[in-house]
Amino acid sequence: MSTKPIKVVFSGMQPTSGVTLGNYLGAMRNFVKLQHEAQCFFCVVDLHALTIPQDPVQLRKNTLDMARLYVAAGIDPDVATIFVQSHVSAHAEMGWLMEVSCYYGELQRMTQFKDKSAKAEVVTTGLFTYPALMAADILLYDTTHVPVGDDQKQHLELARDIAVRLNNRFGREVVVVPEPYIPPREAGGRIMSLQNPTQKMSKSDPDESATIHMLDTPDAIRKKIKRAVTDSESEVRYDPEKKPGVSNLMVILSLCTGMSLDEIAGRYTG
C-alpha cells in the first residue's frame, strides 16, 4: 500500500445495469469511510457506458439509479461529491488530451480491450480508447488515490504513465501521479460468482442466478443463495482453492455480519 497521504479520491461506476453485492462489499462500503478521510469524487461514468449500444431512456434511468445507490450505500452528498460524468464537459475535453498523450501500442496492450473485443461483434473506437478517458477522469481532479479492482489495475498504470510523461514533457508537475487505493484486508473482499466461484461476480454475467444485485428483492436473494454452488462435504472451512463455493459464501457472510471466518466455520460445520 502507498504511504502517500490520501488527499483526493476518485472512483467511477458505470450505470449499465444493477450494482452487485460485489460492488458494494468490495468498493462502495469502503467509500463511506473514505469520504470522511479525504476529498472524494464519486462519479456515474455514463460516457464510458456508451462504448456499447445503449437505449437512451434506460441509460437515463440507470444513471439516476446509480446516483441513488451511492446515497443509499451511505455516501453523504454534503460530504462527498456525487456527479454524472457527462454533466462535466471537462471529462470529454481532458479525454482528448489523454488520447494525444498516450500511444497506440499502450492501448492495444490493454487486457480488458482484448477480452471485450474478442467477444463483441462490432468493436468501437470508444472501447479501444476507454482507458484514455478513464485517465482523464482520474487526472482531472488531482487525484492522489484510486480504488481499483484487479480488472482496472492496468488502466490505472496507464494513467500513471501518462501523468509521468506529461510532467516530464513540461518539466514540472502539471498533473498528480495517482496511487492505487488498497483497503485494509478486513474492510472488503473479492466476491465471486455464485455459480462459478472461480470467477469474479459480474453484473454482466448472462446467468442471472450467479449475481446478487443490490436492487434484488429479498426473496430473489434468498433463492440465489440457496442455489449457490458449494460442494458435497459437510465440513465448512475457508479454502478458496479446494472449496471455492463455500469460501465465497463465508466471505459474503463475514462481510455482511462482522463474524470472523473461524466463527462461521465453527457455527456451520456439520
Catalytic site positions: 116, 200, 203
In single-letter form, the type of residue at position 67 comes to A
Lookup: cell for 238 = 475457508
The answer for 120, left when phi > 0, alpha when psi is -120 to 50, beta otherwise, is beta
Bridge-partner residues for 42, per DSSP? 11, 82
Whether 32 and 75 have beta carbons less than 8 Å apart is answered as yes
**79 phi, psi to nearest 5 deg:** -110, -45
CA-nearest of 27, 42, 111 to 77 is 42
Angle at 167 between CA 12 and CA 106, to 5 degrees: 60
